[in-house]
Chains A and B, each alone.
Chain A
Amino acid sequence: MYKFISASLFLLMISAFPALSQDKVSISGNITDAATGEELIGATIFIPEIDRGTATNVYGFYSITLPPGDYTLKVSYIGYKLMVKTISLTQDLRLDLQLNTSGIMVDEAVIEGERNATKNIESTEMSTVNMQMDAIKKIPAFMGEVDIIKAIQLLPGVQAAGEGSSGFYVRGGAVDQNLILLDESPIYNASHLLGFFSIFNSDAIKDVQLYKGGIPARYGGRLSSVLDIRMKDGNNKEWHGQGGIGTVSSRLTLEGPIKKDKGSILISGRRTYADLFLNFSKDPAARETQLYFYDFNLKANYKLGDDDRVYLSGYFGRDKFGFSDVFGFGWGNMSGTARWNHIYNSKLFSNLTVTYSDYDYYLEQDGEDFGFLWESEIKDVTTKLDYNYYISPAHTLQFGASGTYRTLDPGFARGTGDGSLLQGIRVPINNSMDYAVYISNEHRITDQLSAIYGLRYSLFQNIGPATVFQYDDNFDVMDSTVNGSGAYNTYGGLEPRLGVNYKLNGKSSVKASYNRTYQYLQLATNSTSSSPLDVWFSASPNIKPQIADQYAVGYFRNFLDNTIELSVEAYYKDMQNTIDFANHAQLLLNIHLEGELRTGKSRAYGLEFLVRKQTGRLTGLASYTLARSERNIPDIYGEWYPSNYDRTHDVSVVLSYELNKKWSFATNYIYSTGNAVTMPTGRFEYMGMVVPVYSTRNGERMPSYHRLDLSATLTPKKNAERNWKGEWVFSIYNAYNRHNAYTINFVQDQDNPNETYAEQTYLLPIVPAVTYNFKF
């Protein structure tokens, strides 16, 4: 079946090539911010004469092929003034464009003029949301810390794993099914302080794009989503800085030219002093607790010529949680990326990336006899080559290949004290290689109909030396095979990707998509929420890769001259080889971890509504998701049961209003059904213990989660004239102090052994904060 699809796609793509022979010329170039030189990702150029347009790629590069003639280019990007330029095209033209920001036009009427129909209607991409950093910064933030991960959780189909947790769920997929990329480097744990903050310093970030479905062929490796985060390149005209001092952390970013208009550098740093607010805790133990994180971002780029540009990016961050000197627990990410963009000609753009990513965590306890240190690490090195080939106005080809070498070190524990009784235990290191090749074509078939179709082929290999255990029907270890160096197990598969867009008129369209994805790496998470101590493990002779097929349809419509975007989407996701853990599984330091796994299948389906307004004084979004996520794992439970994170309703409303040049206000409201949990339906007594009896797995619900956040931003008037601009942000998290349950436990009363009662633990009450942000 898949051979047939791939053959058809190949034939369709070949049809693109006859277009080459016609007499056409191309305009190509980069679109940048006039003041900073920052490349604009996804800026659109619309040419009314041919009723077609194009958008810049992730490096700010665009290309469009036309017959020679006179044309009007309408160049636009959210937050920037529309640029209209006329050109006379006789031969290939290299045209770099600079756009000016539109600024806060509060005194004047909001002039949008003829805004280009947005990607909401035009793009073949569906189930994709792009969030502007300006919009993300307006969202009332916990402790005043702007957080990209929290912002995407406001979108339909994306749900937070909850307070104190590092993950998020996209369309009913587990936390490990999201590929998070920072300048193309995969990030394994995107959280600081167990999810209260993300590792992304918003001052260093330029663009955030989330793919929930219709995942393009150039991405692979995770089933449910791709969160593609791009760092800023840095102002290449003059030196500037920005930063903030907040209740919990402070940050500073400096950016400036290495050589004016040719290269720039950006450095960001951030550090918390979260320990401070714990000093006021009622709990004496909390006062002796150390809790901090810090992170650095570095980006440098240089134009070697008109056609070549090199980039270097790096991220380094660490978290530490400790109690006195007795124990500590910490983790951190480190990633580095080197890239080279090369423009071959007006139609062919390439990018070569080499990236290194390292995530590690440790747990230690001091003590002469019982001291120990437990460490775990995951490292990977990836090489990727991507091409954008803008063959003709109707066809844009993307193709490329990548290879990754990955090392998983799930756990090495050893005693550290002098009199230590603990010998070392090491869960064996696991090495693997991941390869992929892909090709995809964006095809404008008619004025109304366009499609993107592509094929990705991915291959996974386990690399020895390694010992593989075999398990019998009872999941007990039966035997083991020792493999020498070299590949000892291979999995691979074809991943077709297809998207179709049918424009009903200039204001609305209907889209549909299908994608198949493979995932070779999973996260062992035993608890009802994820934690930094979760263990990554890979496919192996005992574990097949997970496979997902996602189908989606949607209706998209813009209102009020493209200022209000509406989208309605329905999706269905079918997943094979889903993994879950046996009851009472032992995940830590378990050499036979694979024996704790149980496999089955899972599925998720839902309906999403999103309304967005991104321009004007009042901006914001409202989203609603109605969804179901369930699994069927025969060795755990005999029927379909809801996944832990199945949440029937999820509502988010974000509004931001600029009252005048001095004040702006914002609010957030979130409501979601509680997680599915197993709660007792009865009890019995045995040897003096009151033991709960459970019936259906995950048959009950936690109380629903809801809260309201508020913020107000004050920009003093004198700012306009000075170089140093500051603003004060006052925020209140959880304004009506809702005690959202984190866990519910059933406790047997020590004094009255017959009595049991329910107890909930909640994490965050109402939390006010003040932040001072500055720019110079």
Chain B
Amino acid sequence: MKRSKIFFFALTALFFASCTERIDLDLNDQDGKRLVVEGWFTDEEKQHEVELTWTTSFFFNEAAPRVEGALVNITDGETTWDLTESAPGIYITPEVAGIPSTTYTLNIEVEGENYTASSFMRPVAPIDSLHVRELDPFEEFGFPGDPYYSVRIWTQELPGTGDRYMWLTYVNGVSVRDTLRDLTFVDDELYDGAYVEDIEIDFLKIETEATPGDTVFIEQYNIGEDAYDIFIGIMNETEWNGGLFDAPPANVETNLSNGALGYWGAAGISTKSTIIAE
């Protein structure tokens, strides 16, 4: 029902000849800080990162403070990998690859408290083809808009519902999808088990984000239902709110224990790269 959200957004924006103004507000800031965890563990052989920060008061207006000196490890029940702090708040594993269809658990000990999260690594099919082509929305669909680079893939959606996908795009090795609001994430309810052919999963602005000759590399993650629901929750509490038809605010879910926030997930990943034709 994302469609209806966008629609109602439009309705709200148009409805009132009303005014919006910035105000100073005194908020009751909570006492105590909580741990925030962000990280993915995939089946790619590399050093996987876990980023730890603290919560702050609402109008803190600076980058979140990093958690230093935590003890972090990841285990599959038999083997345990200890993470080392490579930069303040960033903890990395040794070079290791996860195995799909395994449950992994993250353990953190910081300031005398223990936190844990588990995630089941869902497998993902390889991306058979990746193609980037220029697309003019007016010619193609009849919608007004500037031409852009359409990033399109061919892949098999694995049968069995419960798959949720996220795509991260890199241009010339640099991530252009750092922020959740810019990402594409979908569920498989409508496409379960289908062969996905020539579907656009991202778009790049011509000139500003990519130019001919650039290498475009994409990662396809199967993030699973929990992560997907949490992403929707985050979008509800940030970008998508402010409308006439909003639900009352509610805390975003997490898979971390002991009052920690954020999400740590294990995901199957497949990648592909291509070069934009001249």
Give me the interface of A with B, judged by CB distance under 8 Å.
164, 194, 278, 281-283, 285-286, 289, 321, 323, 327, 329, 365, 368-369, 526-529, 531, 533, 581, 583-586, 588-589, 644, 677-695, 697-700, 739, 741-748, 752-763, 765
Contact = CB atoms under 8 A, between A and B. Distances in A.
B14 A763 contact: no
5 contacts: A289-B14, A528-B246, A692-B237, A695-B30, A741-B23
Contacts of A194: 15
A630 to B, nearest CB: 15
Given A527-B248, A760-B21, 17 more contacts: A321-B15, A526-B245, A527-B244, A531-B244, A588-B1, A682-B33, A684-B36, A684-B262, A685-B36, A687-B38, A687-B183, A689-B238, A692-B238, A699-B28, A700-B27, A745-B242, A755-B61
Residue from B16, B25, B57, B236 having most chain A Cβ neighbours under 10 A: B16
B208 interface: no
A125 B94 CA distance: 79
Given A681-B28, A699-B28, A527 B247 contact: yes
A183 to B, nearest CB: 32
Contacts of B30: 681-682, 693, 695
B245 A757 contact: no
Contact of A683 (B13, B16, B20, B55): B55
Contacts of B29: 681-682
Contact of A761 (B19, B142, B250): B19
A685 B248 contact: no
A754 B62 contact: yes
A688 B246 contact: no
A30 to B, nearest CB: 48
Interface stretch (B80-88, B121-129, B173-181, B194-202): B173-181
Nearest to A277: B17
A194 B16 CA distance: 10
Contacts of B1: 586, 588-589
Contacts of B23: 741, 744, 758-760
A683 B60 contact: yes
A513 to B, nearest CB: 34
B18 to A, nearest CB: 5
B277 interface: no
Contacts of A744: 23, 25
A756 B11 CA distance: 25
A754 B61 contact: yes
Nearest to B260: A684
Interface in B246-264: 246-252, 261-263
Contacts of A745: 241-242
A683 B22 contact: no
Contacts of A695: 30
Contact of A689 (B17, B24, B234, B244): B234
Interface size class of B (residues with CB under 8 A): 35 or more
B34 interface: yes
For B17, B178, B238, B242, the residue with the greatest tally of chain A CB atoms inside 10 Å of its CB is B17
A207 B249 CA distance: 41
Contact of B17 (A281, A585, A683, A743): A281
A763 B249 contact: no
B34 A684 contact: yes
B17 to A, nearest CB: 4
B199 to A, nearest CB: 15
Contact of A688 (B10, B178, B263): B178
B51 to A, nearest CB: 9
B100 interface: no
A683 B19 CA distance: 26
Nearest to A283: B17
A741 B1 CA distance: 29
A-B pairs with lowest CB-CB distance, top 10 = A688-B179, A583-B250, A281-B17, A681-B30, A745-B242, A687-B180, A758-B25, A684-B36, A286-B17, A685-B64
B4 interface: yes
B249 A678 contact: yes
A448 B23 CA distance: 57
Contacts of A679: 25, 27-28, 249
Grouping DSSP codes into helix (H, G, I), strand (E, B) and loop, the B interface class, with mixed when no group exceeds half, is loop
A763 B16 contact: yes
B232 to A, nearest CB: 8
Contact of A686 (B33, B58, B234, B245): B234
B35 to A, nearest CB: 9
B18 A762 contact: yes
Most buried by A among B1, B28, B53, B142: B28
Contacts of A693: 30, 34, 55, 251, 261
B262 A754 contact: no
Given A685-B36, A687-B38, A763-B16, A754 B28 contact: no
B248 A686 contact: no
A684 B22 contact: no
Contacts of B24: 758
A365 B237 CA distance: 27
A96 to B, nearest CB: 52
B61 A748 contact: no
Nearest to B235: A689
B20 A759 contact: yes
A690 B244 CA distance: 22
A584 B237 CA distance: 10
A677 B27 CA distance: 12
A684 B28 contact: no
A528 B36 CA distance: 29
A754 to B, nearest CB: 5
A759 B17 contact: no
Contacts of B36: 684-686
A745 B244 CA distance: 11
Most B C-beta atoms less than 10 A away, residue of A686, A688, A694, A695: A686
B250 A694 contact: yes
A695 B31 CA distance: 11
Contacts of B236: 584
Contacts of A289: 14
A323 B14 contact: yes
Nearest to B36: A684
Contacts of B238: 689-692, 748
A281 B19 CA distance: 11
Interface in B187-205: none
B236 to A, nearest CB: 6
A606 B244 CA distance: 30
B58 A684 contact: no
B58 A746 contact: yes
B56 interface: yes
Which one of A365, A581, A689 has the highest number of Cβ atoms from chain B below 10 Å of its Cβ? Answer: A689
Contacts of A692: 58, 237-238, 249
Contacts of B20: 759-761
B177 to A, nearest CB: 9
B58 A681 contact: yes
Nearest to A678: B249
A746 to B, nearest CB: 7
A744 B23 CA distance: 9
A688 B21 contact: no
A686 B38 contact: yes
- The residue in A683, A684, A752, A753 that gathers the most chain B C-beta atoms within 10 A of its C-beta is A684
Contacts of A368: 142
Contacts of A281: 17
A687 B179 contact: yes
B162 interface: no
A527 B60 CA distance: 28
Contacts of B232: 584
B53 A684 contact: yes
A581 B18 contact: no
B137 to A, nearest CB: 13
Contacts of B27: 679-681, 700
B18 A694 contact: no
A695 B32 CA distance: 12
Interface in B122-154: 141-142
Residue in B15, B61, B181 with the greatest tally of chain A CB atoms within 10 Å = B15
